[in-house]
Each structure stands twice: as structure tokens, then as C-alpha cells.
Amino acid sequence: MEPITLTTERLVLRTLRPDDADAVYQACQDPEIARWTSVPAPYTREHAADFAGQVSAQGWADDILYNFGAFTRDAGTLVGSIGLVRLGKLGPPDHQAELGYWAVKEQRGRGYTAEAGLAVCRWAFADLGVERMEWYADAGNEGSRAVARKIGFVMEGTLRAKIVHTGTRRDCWSGSLLPSDLGLPLATPYLPFPGE
């Protein structure tokens, strides 16, 4: 798939380019990003160059991983990265995807990540045929959970030993978002359990 650009009221979401590597490198020096995400630690300039170049381009080319850099519309400042992984793309299609993100330390608390996440989810539902969006974060990552809730994710619980991070299995929080949660149609009929 060819990379696309999404715009919101305050942001431009586009694929990362090699000239974004320095901004990505600077952002990923924040120990909180390494603590809660799968970025390598220590995070080197080579990691940033690879992520902003080959990794982002290859994911789009393979049509399974779509990484966006989130930039302010007015100044073009990097505020974070948001990615979407299509689940089941290599096997039988199940129309599910997973959303992940990180925010630049100095840009947190402004609602940028939720704004970007909502735009990516709407795009995935409308253009990729996604019918269920999943979100996972290490249990205790209150910032990520707050963003997911602001987007509209419904919290589903704690999954034991779901995430492997720095060689350790960790519990994670999980949530889901359906097109109907955003007022969009759902292609496959959904029959919720009446007891919930």
C-alpha cells in the first residue's frame, strides 16, 4: 500500500522520512518511552534512522504495518508516533488491528495523541475494513490508558503475561474499539453477550 497522509484540526499524520530521524532520536531519549514501549534502549541514532526510513517504508509496502509521525500543522513539530498493525493479514483475514503510540515528552498533556489516534482509527475502519481495534499497554501505564479512553476504547481487563518487554513477561491492560463506538457501521453483525 502506498503511504497516505491524514490531517486533523491541529495535526498532520504522515509516514516518517529519513529527515525525521533526528527528531525521533531526540524524542526516544526520554526514559519513559523505553519504559513503556518496545523501542530499543539505549536508543541510538541508527535506530532512529532505521525507524524513520526502512522500517516505516517496509511496513506500508507489506500492507501490514502503518507508522505515522504526528506533526503540528502550524510548525511541523514532531509530537509523537502512532502505528497500526493489521492482525491476521498474513493468514485468514479477521478484520482486526492493533493501535500503538508514543508521545514526545514536551508535547504530552495537549491531547495530540488522542487526536491522532482517533484519526487513524477512523481511517482504519473506513478504508481498511477493520472491524475491531485493539489496544494493549503494560499494566500501570496510566498515560496510555487515558489516551485510549479518550479515543473511545472500552477497557476489557488485564491479561496475564501478555507482553514480553526487556526479556520479562508482563501483565497488560487491554481495550477495544469498534466502528459502532464512533457511530460508524460495522460490516459483520455483532451480537454482544446480554449479560455484560
Q: Which domains does the chain have, with CATH numbers?
A: 6-134 (3.40.630.30)
**Separation of CA 160 from chain center:** 21
Provide CB contacts within 8 A for 62, sequence distance 6+: none
Terminal alpha carbon distance of the chain: 38
190, exposed or middle or buried, with CB in 10 Å at 0-12, 13-18, 19+?
A: exposed
Helices (H), 9-55: 21-27, 31-36, 45-50
Strand partners, 77: none
106/178 Cα distance (integer angstroms):
31
More confident residue, 101 or 63: 101
If you compute the radius of gyration of the chain from its CA atoms, what whole number of angstroms results? 16
- What b/e readout covers 139-150, taking b as 16+ CB neighbours within 10 angstroms? bebeebbebbee
For 54-90, what is each residue's pLDDT tens digit? 888 888 999 889 999 999 999 999 999 999 998 876 5
For 117-161, what is each residue's pLDDT tens digit? 999 999 999 999 999 999 999 999 999 999 999 999 999 999 999
Q: Are 99 and 135 in contact (CB under 8 A)?
A: yes
Output the average pLDDT for the chain: 94
Dihedral angle sign, alpha carbons of residues 45, 48, 53, 58: positive
Query: Which among 89, 157, 88, 153 has a CA at the least distance from the CA of 121?
Result: 153
Name the residue type at position 28: C
136/148 Cα distance (integer angstroms):
9
The model's pTM? 0.94
C-alpha cell at position 57: 517504508
Mean pLDDT of 16-32: 96
- Residue 11 pLDDT greater than 70, yes or no: yes
